[in-house]
Structures are given as structure tokens and as C-alpha cells.
Chain A
């Protein structure tokens, strides 16, 4: 195996008495998209900040692109592209000026930046907005401009902190498509997200964090197969909650109640669906394959987090 682009070993970060990141280790191989998922406050953003040298770990070490963070922070960042959770676009500049000014921070030759701007705008589907200011853009356009800005130095590794939060489905799909293009070009990505379909679609590998600890790691499909029954039947409506205690539950491997809905996790949904149809014809049911969201909720629980 070639040397990983990013190798984080036993990272720990404390704020006062609380441990925000706890002995976390992970690697990103060349061409890989590593997804980091976890509830709010799980330590995702702190982990990214440590990888960027913006926050110093209390213990552990980070090697990136053959260099050591934070000692070689500037040399590493010269080869990174970052989209942070909140836009930091310059409101006083047009889209094109935003790219130009950002390219200068990398010490790139003026001519090279200017040559690159039209390509970056085209990649972000913003060619027609070259002279517009961020305030005139939609949320999706602003996120794509942030992504284009992160590409100004042609980075090998991208760090994207919730790049699609707050976007409508059209804008999100366009962002996913752009990220897939980048992966096909051989770029590596570290991505945090709250959208499980996003994680499943884009990520080669996932890291599930909770309370700063790694609680699972693997390919999305493998994680689902390892932790969950393949079929899910959801039942809701009058009398649904009683099902969780009824003899029917023996037809499912595992039963969960959340709000007014009962979730049956099973190897084979047929007998359960037949019985439900026979004995409770008025209940509404939904039969679907187990997905990453089920996995996420199983591993991190269904209760709302204080930070949420």
C-alpha cells in the first residue's frame, strides 16, 4: 500500500474537562473519499480543525502529504483545499475577484490564477455569475463558489465540512455531481455530513463518530451488512405502538419504537408483511431495505442531542 495522504494517530483534544476528540485514528488513501458522520458535537469539526493545524491536539499526531502538522502547516495547506461549514466568501468582491484574491494567498503567479478563473467558474456552473457578488447568489451557488475557491491551488486533498447543509435537493445533487467529478480526477476528499444518502453516494469509506470516539469504520454497504438486518418494515397509524409488544414481533429480528412508528428489522420481511396485512389491514406500512440512516441511528441512538 502506498503512503496515506493523511494519517491521524490517536488524536485527543480536550476543552476544559470535556474530551471532544478521544484517541481518534484514521487514514485517507490517495483517491479515496472518507466520510465522517456523527451527531452534532461528535467532534467532526474539531477533527478537521486539527487536520488544518488551526487547533492543536492535546496528544496524537497528524501526518499529511508526507509532512507533519502543525509543524509544516503552511506547506501542507498549500496542497489542501478547504470548504468550511460556514461560507467565508468576501462579500465585497465578485465571484471572479473572490477566486483571484484567494489564489494570491497561495502565492500563485497572477497569470496562472487568471487563466484558471474561467475554468473554476465553469466547474462551479457560475460562468454567468462571474461579476455577481456573493449576496446576489443562491445558497447552492455560494457553496459551489466556496468549492471553486478551494480548488484554486489544484489541491490533492479536499476537506469539506458539511458542504451541502442547507441546500435544496437540486443544489445538493449538483454539488454531489461536482464532487464525483473531482473523485474521478483522482482527488482525495475528507467529507463531514449529516446526510446519509450523501455519505452512501460519495464515500468509499465511512468513519462514525460519537462523543469524540470512533464507533465504526468501513465501506457503507459493509457497515450496513455488519450491523443491521437487510430489511426494514415501518408501521405507523392507530394501534401501531402496540405491535412492538405483540406476538408479531417474533417475526422480526429486532424491534424499535420511535415516536408513533414501530421499526421491524428482519432478514426476511415477507412473513411479517403477510401477517400485518392479515391482522392489521388499516395500519400503514413501509417496506424498504436497511440504509445508512438506520445504521447511524442504531449506533448513535435516537435521542436528540443537546447541541442540536
Chain B
């Protein structure tokens, strides 16, 4: 059968998602500390350290403290990283190393549903991490705009989009080493091109124009204004960018995973 046929999704994904939840409940606390420690270190070192040098940054005609500028970008970056780690290293362990997927596929669960369960699971990990970081930011008094509730929904979408993209690389991987390329060649440059650490206006014109279409750019452009208690501009376009990445990447990831399992 054609590997690129439409996804056939059903509620049978739920026991697979639940399986991951049951494993994670046993390891949640150490994994949570690992997930939120890194962005908080960035925040403290850069936000307070660099922030003292930088002072304020101009965003959409308003001057904002650098710590707020950075925090709103860092939470998007954390959602991206959490989703990517889960959909790469952890999903690959389950798929390839432990053969968990093979066991599941002997039961009445289709590969399409397994891939969807992994995608939603990685997105869940992303929103869980982002939620913890948002709570710390609230405690640090960086922002307490009620619009952060809407930002939370955007972060869920960010988690979904990056889970879908990562699953493409999961489907192609022969070993863990492969994921290093994804991080160093794709995610790390994107962090610097998407306005997490400094405004994209600083980029050369051509690079800036290209960076308009990066999924992390859309995430930051949506979330940052809400930290400033404003509504973002170009909301529809940014949501469409995230949705397009999510749908196209999920479709591709599923096709490539089907091909891998048909071999």
C-alpha cells in the first residue's frame, strides 16, 4: 500500500498514550527538574546578567525589560526542546531499542495510532514543561498578564508542531547519533534566528526574511506580546504557519514510519 496515503486515526491511540504516562509517572520528578533547570539557568544568567547590560529592548514600539523579552522567548524554546527530546530520544528507545512498538503492533492497534500517540505524548511533555516554567516566571514576577492563559494554548500548539517535525527524524534514524545533527544543524540555529535571545531586526535583511517562516519565529511572535499583556499582530498567519508545519510534518513522519516498518 502507498505509504503516503492519508492518516487513519482512531481512539486506539489512547492506551499507547496511557502507557507512556504510566512510565513517566514513575520518573516525573527527576525528569521535571531536568526539563526546567536548563531554561531557568538561561533566564538567570542571560536575563539578569546580560539584562543589566542591555537594559530594555524595543518590541512593537514599546520598550520592555530584557528579562521579559528573554523569558517569553525561552518558554517557547523550552516547549520546542521538550517536544523534540521526547519525540527523538525517548520515542526512538521505544520504537527501536526496546521494541515496544513491535509489541503494540501485535495487538489491535495500528501504526498510525502509535505514531499519533507518540506525537501527542511528546506534545504533552512539552506543555507540562512549559507550564512549570510559566509558573516559575509568575513566581519571579516577570509577567502576570491574564493573556498568559492564551499563551499556554499557543505553547501546546508549539509542542505539537515540534513533535511532528521530530518524528520525521525519528523515522529516519539508525541510531541516537543522528539526533545530534537535528539539534545542532536545525534547532540550535533556529533558536538564534527566531528572536529568542535578540530581536530579529538585528539579522541581515535576507536572513530575517527567511526567518519569518520558521515555526519557532511564529511561536515567539505569538507568545511575546501576551507576556507584555498585548494581543499579537498577524495572529492568523502565525497560527497557519504552526498548523502547516504540524500537519505536513505529521503526514511525512507517518509515511516514513510506515516505510520503516514495512521493510
Contact = CB atoms under 8 A, between A and B. Distances in A.
Contacts of A82: 106
A215 interface: no
Contacts of B18: 101, 104
Interface in B188-241: none
Contacts of A107: 12, 15, 108
Interface string A156-183: 0000000000000000000000000000
A92 B107 contact: no
Contacts of A150: 106
B166 to A, nearest CB: 21
Interface stretch (A70-78, A239-247, A253-261, A299-307): A70-78
Interface residues of B, number: 23
A234 interface: no
B261 interface: yes
Interface in A179-226: none
B98 A105 contact: no
Given A86-B99, A92-B23, A105-B16, A55 B108 contact: no
A89 interface: yes
A54 interface: yes
A101 B14 CA distance: 11
A104 B98 contact: no
Contacts of A52: 105-106
B103 A102 contact: yes
Contact of B107 (A87, A93, A102): A102
A131 to B, nearest CB: 13
B1 A88 contact: no
B110 interface: yes
Contact of A106 (B1, B108, B261): B108
A93 B15 contact: no
A90 B19 CA distance: 10
A104 B15 contact: yes
A92 B98 CA distance: 10
Nearest to B23: A92
B99 A105 contact: no
Contacts of A73: 108, 110
A91 B99 contact: no
Nearest to B10: A74
Nearest to A79: B108
Contacts of B108: 73-75, 77-78, 105-107
Interface in B69-117: 98-100, 102-110
Given A88-B99, A105-B16, A54 B23 contact: no
Interface residues of A, number: 30
A102 B103 CA distance: 9
A93 B23 contact: yes
Given A101-B15, A104-B15, A88 B262 contact: no
A84 B15 contact: no
B50 interface: no
B15 A54 contact: no
A106 B107 contact: yes
Given A101-B19, A107-B12, A88 B103 contact: yes
B22 A101 contact: yes
B111 to A, nearest CB: 9
Nearest to B103: A88
Given A54-B261, A88-B98, A77 B106 contact: yes
Contact of A74 (B23, B102, B104, B110): B110
B109 A88 contact: no
A92 B31 CA distance: 15
B26 interface: yes
A80 B12 CA distance: 17
A97 interface: yes
B43 to A, nearest CB: 32
A90 B100 CA distance: 7
Nearest to A106: B107
Nearest to B104: A105
Contacts of B99: 86-88
Contacts of B16: 105
Nearest to A146: B103
B99 to A, nearest CB: 4
B109 A105 contact: yes
A56 interface: yes
A77 B99 CA distance: 18
Interface in A90-113: 90-93, 97, 101-102, 104-107
9 A-B pairs with the lowest CB-CB distances in the bound complex, closest first: A88-B103, A105-B107, A82-B106, A104-B15, A88-B99, A74-B108, A77-B108, A78-B108, A92-B23
15 contacts: A54-B105, A55-B262, A73-B110, A78-B108, A84-B103, A86-B99, A86-B102, A93-B22, A93-B23, A101-B18, A101-B22, A102-B103, A105-B108, A107-B12, A149-B103
Given A75-B108, A88-B103, A89-B103, 20 more contacts: A52-B106, A54-B105, A56-B262, A73-B110, A74-B110, A77-B106, A84-B103, A84-B106, A86-B99, A88-B102, A92-B23, A93-B23, A101-B15, A104-B18, A105-B12, A105-B104, A105-B107, A106-B107, A107-B15, A149-B103
